Structures are given as structure tokens and as C-alpha cells.
Amino acid sequence: MNMWFLGTGAGRPFKHRNVTAIALQLPEPGCNWWLFDAGEATQHQVLRTPLKLNKLEAVFITHLHGDHFYGLPGLLSSRSFDGGVTPVQLFGPPGLKSYIDTVFALSGTQLDYELNISEIAVDEGIILNDERFTVEAGLLEHRVPCFGYRITEHDQPGKLLVHKLQELGIEAGPIYGQLKQGQTVTLPDGKVVRSEDVTGTSQRGRVVTVLGDTKPCGRALKLAADADLLVHEATFAAGMEEKAHEFGHSTTAEAAETAARAKAKRLVMTHFSGRYSNEDLSRLEEEASVKFGAVTAATDLYMTEIKR
């Protein structure tokens, strides 16, 4: 899995930094991708990456502040022009469906694919659970209802040990697939074969946490617990906690402290105030690293691999 930071700014775009949007590129074989927030001009940023709109599978909006979703209608519309015909799932706070329906109605926009919109309740937990991932949403502490998302990849069965199957006299066919999927199989002679007896060590699923705008809070810690990658806003530098909290934000030091307390493996900070240039980011990294070592301050179009 790869994560692309399409926009890393707070509030409004700047010459060196666009507003918030993050893409999670899913593993093979599908190689589809999910989008977290869609600030203004997100579709322009997508054009600067290998990502294709027709491969977009789901969109998760953290909250209804313009720098996090003003780019959504144009992006969804352009997906039709880019050959997108498969369904897209859209998740976000209450009011998101009304916004999209109104914009599309006034502009006469017609999509060539099915758009399924799910508005998240305040006490929501798991919002998506398919054969690959579980996604949990949790309410954070911001000026408007704002959610963080915890994406958990399901554990993957180990590699099928073909030589053991051959020793059991099992020829290649449907049984191989059943055992690979973790099922227990009864052979025609009555012998029971368990998946764990003919597969290697299973692969632990990865955990990625993407938090929306937030002050430090208990829900952020819960969503980020033991994450392989935590994405946390760091609107202000350390020492500016009072100003950050006034607007429902966090500082670099607070993002690092959340990562440390949650025992995350890596932290990527984003959503930087326009007062900081890209040249300032190394200083912001340094002050966060006092509390958490594995930290990166993202720039626009920064890509990181999420390894097992």
C-alpha cells in the first residue's frame, strides 16, 4: 500500500501547498485507491500522480470545512469523463448528501456510475467491512463534527505449501483455493485437511489511521492504537497550543505525543498553517522528534509506502 499526500495545507491553498487531500493506494490485484478529504483542486493534484480517477473506489470526508471538501463535486464529475463506471462509496458527516445533491442538481451533473453516500452518526464505529479491510470512524474534537478513520487490513493467509498438498494426493483445483482462503476441507476419503496445516505463516494486516482536524483527545488515541502509520494534523508549531486549541487544532508536539502514547510505528504530519514554508518543515520535524522519533512532515505529492 502507498499513501499520497495530495495537499498538506490548512485553511486555503498557497503557492507551495494545496489544501487537504490524501490518497491511499490499495494493494494488488485491484490497485484501486481511496481518498481522504478533497480540498479545492484535488483533481488537479491527482493528475500529477500515477492515480487514475476511474480506479477511485471510496471517498472519506472528515468534516465539512471547505478546505477538506470543496474539491469533491468536480472530482466526482470528472471521474465520469475519465471512464469511471464502477460504484463509488462516499462517507462523511451529516449534511454531505444534501451538499452533493444540491450541487449536482443546480449544475445538471449526471454521473455514469453509482454514487452511494453514507452519512456517519456521531457514535459510529465500523462503517465499512469487506473481504479486505475494516474501516472504523470516530468523532474527534474540532469546531464542527469531525471524524478520524482507522483502516485495518485483514490478516492474509500464508503461502500455500503445494508440496504438502501433493503428499496428501490433492491435485490442483478448487480445493487449493478453499484452503488458501483459510477453510477446512474434507476429502472424499473422509480425511480432514485444515488450512493452517498446509499454509505458511499468515501475514498480519496493516493498520492506517487518518485523523481529521482535532485537538488532542482520547478518541484520537483509540483510533491510532498500534497503527503502522498515523496521519495527524499539525497546524501549528510547538509552543502554540493555546492558539491551536482555540481553533480546534493540534501542534507538532501534540501530534508526536499522540503517536507515542498510541504506540504507532510511524507518524506523518500534515495540515500546516500557511505561516510555515516548506523550508520550515525540517524544524517542525525536529521539534516533533523530541517526543516521537519516526516522524515526517509531508509536502505536497509526498508518497510513502506502508510496509507489512
**Distance (Å, whole) CA 281 – CA 288:** 11
CA atoms of 42 and 35, how far apart (whole Å): 10
Catalytic site includes residue 197? no
**From 37, 67, 228, 300, active-site residue:** 67
CA distance 227 to 231: 10
Long-range contacts of 218-222 (CB under 8 A, 24+ apart): 219/138, 219/139, 219/140, 219/141, 219/148, 220/138, 220/140, 220/148, 220/258, 220/262, 221/258, 221/261, 221/262, 222/138
Annotated binding site: 63, 65, 67-68, 142, 213, 271
Q: What are the CA-CA distances from residue 222 to residues 82, 95, 216 (Å)?
A: 38, 26, 12
Task: Provide φ and ψ at 67, rounded to 5°.
Answer: -70, 0
Secondary structure class of 57 (helix, strand, coil)? strand
Query: What whole-number distance in Å separates Cα of residue 32 and Cα of residue 55?
Result: 5
In the block, residue with C-alpha cell 468536480 = 74
Sequence ranges of the binding site for Zn(2+): 63, 65, 67-68, 142, 213, 271
Radius of gyration of the chain (CA): 22
Please give the C-alpha separations between residue 125 and each of 135, 149, 223, 287, in angstroms, as whole numbers. Answer: 8, 10, 10, 33
Residue with cell 480432514: 192
Active-site residue numbers? 67
